[in-house]
Amino acid sequence: MIFQIHHRITYRYDRPVIIEPLTIRLQPRGDGSQRLLDWNCTLTPTPLASTSILDVFGNSALQASFSGVYLEFCIEVNSRVETLRTNPFDFLSLDARTTNLPARYHEPVEQALAAHLHRNKADSQISEWAKEVSASAGNQTQSFLLQVTEQIARDFNSENRYGGSPLSPSETFASKRGACRDLAVLFMDVCRSQGIAARFVSGYIYEPNRVGTSELHAWAEVYLPGGGWRGYDPSRGVAVSDQHIAVAAGPEAEWAAATEGCYIGTGAESTIEYEVTVTEVDRHL
């Protein structure tokens, strides 16, 4: 499938501010599951200088610096992406050490994945729930991943919460509700409790029946030796295939944030507006 994506973020300030150097992660990635066909990013005001980089986790990012004071700042991105993975389970083979739970990785792989295995605060209730799901899945990794994805989608209320960092896994588990980023972080913690490396993904989702605009979506990916990083969307209850467009990923949500930076202005307050549209495009156009 080929998608045209339009994304605009507008920051407004109630008094003039200085915009500090900014990192922008809004370029869809190119890999075995999707191909970036076209991408452009317009910043208003025009930056004094800008450069493209790969961040510490391999995400494409744009860094920009500014001169002057401003009341408004706008990021406008247009992307054209072809998604390629129609079968989310097209593994050639999986390492036997990770097909049964709790999972174990070959030592060099485990060392490389250390940040994606770390639990910031192990919640015993989440750990026990993960064990129960694992037992009901016959301690089989693939069945476990699907069951966790489906159960979170079924038993937790998915809601919109514009702005702010994800809630902790404990908060989301206790309240049985959360935005897509909250549910993704909970899913990651459940997986890590069973020894499965997981990372946070920001990106877009195609919703053909959606009315109006949306914002960035979030889900999770797990690392399966022989299968690589594979996506699961607990807010939708599905394994990720060709209707998700990944942008950035990291072991914690902040590493996949769309923007990273700050402004300087004594007493200044800001507001933010989002506009995201994802449209399927005829591949012959």
Classify residue 285: in a domain, yes or no: no
**Positions in the chain short of pLDDT 70:** 211-213, 283-285
Q: Indicate if 36 and 142 belong to the same structural domain.
A: no
CATH classification of the domain holding 79? 2.60.40.2250
Distance CA 250, CA 228 (A): 15
pLDDT 10s digits, 162-184: 778 899 999 999 999 999 999 99
Kindly list the distances between the CA atom of residue 9 and the CA atoms of 23, 43, 127, 275, in Å, as whole numbers in the listed order: 14, 10, 38, 7
Q: Indicate if 122 and 72 belong to the same structural domain.
A: no
Q: Indicate if 223 and 248 belong to the same structural domain.
A: yes
Task: Give me the domain span that covers residue 116.
Answer: 96-256
Q: Indicate if 11 and 52 belong to the same structural domain.
A: yes
Q: What pTM does this model have?
A: 0.95
Return the pLDDT at 156: 97
Classify residue 59: in a domain, yes or no: yes
- Alpha-helical (H) ranges within 56-202 are 107-112, 114-117, 124-136, 141-155, 169-175, 180-193
Q: Indicate if 159 and 232 belong to the same structural domain.
A: yes
And the tokens for 251? Answer: 């072991």
Return the pLDDT at 283: 67
And the tokens for 89? Answer: 């389970």
What total of structural domains would you count in the chain? 2
Q: Indicate if 130 and 236 belong to the same structural domain.
A: yes
The one-letter amino acid code at 57 reads: F
CATH classification of the domain holding 195? 3.10.620.30
Q: Indicate if 15 and 51 belong to the same structural domain.
A: yes
pLDDT 10s digits, 54-102: 999 999 999 999 999 999 999 999 999 999 999 999 988 788 888 999 9
Return the pLDDT at 162: 77
